[in-house]
Chain A
Amino acid sequence: MSNKDINSLLIDNNDNVVVAVKNLNKGNEVLYQKETEIKKLIINDNIKFGHKISIKKIKKGEKIIKYGAVIGKATQKIEKGEHVHLHNVEGIRGRGDKKEEKNI
C-alpha cells in the first residue's frame, strides 16, 4: 500500500508526535498512516523535513513519546498540530538531568 500524499510518519502506534517528511507550511494538512488508516490534522506552524509535529494536545510536563519511548518532556503546553522541538521540549537524559534517572 502506498499513498503519495502522506507527508508525515508515525513511527510507533503509541507516539504522540509524527515526523514531517516534507517541508510543510502553517495551515497545511498533515497526513500520516496509523496501521491501515490515514489520519489528518492541520498544522499551525511552519515545519521542516525531519521535524516533529504533535498529534495530540500535550500538557506541560507531559512526556513526549517517539519510537514508543520517552524522548523528553514538554516544557510548556503543546497544542495538536504544533511544532515540537527545542523551544517546548527538554531532554531527561542530557547533562545535569542524570539524577532524574530513578524517577523515570
Chain B
Amino acid sequence: MKFQGYTRENGDVGIRNHLLVISSVVCANDVTQNIANQLNGAVAITHPHGCDEFEDDAMLTKKTLAGTGINPNVGACIVVGLGCETIGSEKVAADIAESGKPVKEINIQKSGGSLKSIQKGVRMGRKLLDKLSQQKREEHDFSELILGIECGGSDTSSGITANPAVGKASDILVGKGGTSILSETPELIGAEHILAERAVNKKVADKLIEIVNRAEQYALDVGVDIREVNPSPGNKEGGLTTLEEKSLGCVHKAGSAPLSEVIEFAEKPSKNGLVVMDTPGQDVESITGMVAGGAQIIIFTTGRGTIVGNPIVPVIKVCSNTATFLKMEDNMDINAGKIIDGENTLEEIGENLFELIEEVVNGRHTKSEILGYGSFGIHRILKTM
C-alpha cells in the first residue's frame, strides 16, 4: 500500500517537513523559542534539562534530542546551546548530521549573546525553510511507517472500545509490513506474561519481562506496590475486577500481532511489526520517546479526554465514548463510542481509524496539529546534580 512522503537523506520517509529548532540545554530555551517565533513554519523544542545531569541522564537527553532531530518528519534542524553545558549543542548537531539531515548549530556564548544568536538562527532558518518549501512528496510504502500507540485519561470504556479499535488498526498496519510501538511499561504489569507469549523468540520475551520487572521494582523501592493498588477503587466501580484485566485492556491497543522486539526509551526499532518501547506511563514522556525512536504518527486513546499533541508528529485522538467526544469535539478526531451506541462494530471503527491514518499520513492535519499543540518531555532516571 502506497502513500506520498518526504524522502530523507538516510532513506527514511517523513509525513511532514518541519524545520526543528532544538534547545540542547535549559539555558538556551529563550533563544531557541525566539528563533522559531520569527520563522513561519519552524517548531521549537525546549525543556528543563541538558546540564548537571548524571551520566545516564545526560546520555538519555542527548539520545532523545538527537532522535527527535533525526525523526523523518523533520526536514532540517538548528541546534542551540549556551556553550558550557554537559552535552553541548555541537554533539547533538553532530549526531543528527550523521543521518545526512541538514543541521546548523549555534553556541550562544561564542556568538556573543542572545540577540546575536537569534539573528544568526533566524537567518539560518530562512535559508533552510526556503529549501524545505521546495521539497516534493514522493511515493513510499506503508511498510516504512512507524506508528506510536498511547493511552491517557482512560475510563471504563477505553478497554472495550478505543483500545481494541486501535488494536485492529495496528494489526492492519503490521499486516502491510509497517511497525507499531506499544509503550507505557508500568501499564503492562499483570499482563506481561500474556504479551511475552506472543514474542517471536525467547530473547524478546525475556527482555519484555525484564523491563516490566524493572518498572515494578523501581516503584517497590520507593514504597509503591503497583500490583496492590490496581485496579483502583474507581476502576472497580467502573467494572474492572483484576489487575490483569486492566492491563489487558491496555495491551489490547497492540492488537494480535507477534512481538518482534523490545527497545529502550528513544531507541529506533530495528525490526518491523509490533515492538514494545520501555517508556513511563506519563503520556508526554512516552510520546516523546516514541517520536525520538522514529515514529512518524501517534494514535492516542482517551476516555476522559486529553488534548496533548506533539511538536513534529501528528497525534490522532481516539475517544472511547460519545459523551466525551461531543463535549471535547475540538480535540477528538475519532469517536469509538459508536461501538457502545450500536452504530458501528469494532471492526468498522478499526477500519475507519486506519482510513484516517492513511489521510493523515498523506497530509491531512489532526485537530491537535491544527491547534498547534506540541508537548515535549524527556524521561528522567536520577536527580539533577
Contact = CB atoms under 8 A, between A and B. Distances in A.
B245 A72 contact: yes
B224 to A, nearest CB: 12
B341 interface: yes
Interface string B71-93: 00000000000000000000000
B340 interface: yes
A2 B342 contact: yes
B239 interface: yes
A2 B343 contact: yes
B160 interface: yes
Interface string A87-104: 001111111001001001
A50 B160 CA distance: 8
Interface residues of A, number: 36
Interface string A61-91: 0000011011110000000000011100111
A72 B244 contact: yes
Given A11-B164, A50-B157, A92-B244, A69 B194 contact: yes
Contacts of B236: 85-86
Nearest to A69: B194
A71 B248 contact: yes
A49 B340 CA distance: 10
A66 B227 CA distance: 19
Contact of B241 (A1, A3, A33, A84): A84
B242 A1 contact: no
Nearest to A4: B342
A57 B326 CA distance: 39
Given A2-B342, A6-B342, A71 B252 contact: no
Contacts of A2: 342-345
B160 A21 contact: yes
A78 B346 CA distance: 28
Contacts of A72: 241-242, 244-245
Contact of A19 (B227, B239, B343): B239
15 contacts: A4-B343, A9-B160, A21-B160, A50-B239, A52-B239, A67-B252, A69-B194, A84-B241, A85-B241, A91-B243, A93-B190, A93-B244, A94-B190, A95-B225, A95-B228
A93 B342 contact: no
B342 A71 contact: no
Give the residue among B245, B248, B340, B345 with the most A Cβ atoms within 10 A: B245
B380 interface: no
B366 interface: no
Contacts of A19: 160, 239
Nearest to A98: B227
Interface in B172-191: 190-191
A95 B227 contact: yes
Nearest to B249: A67
B238 interface: yes
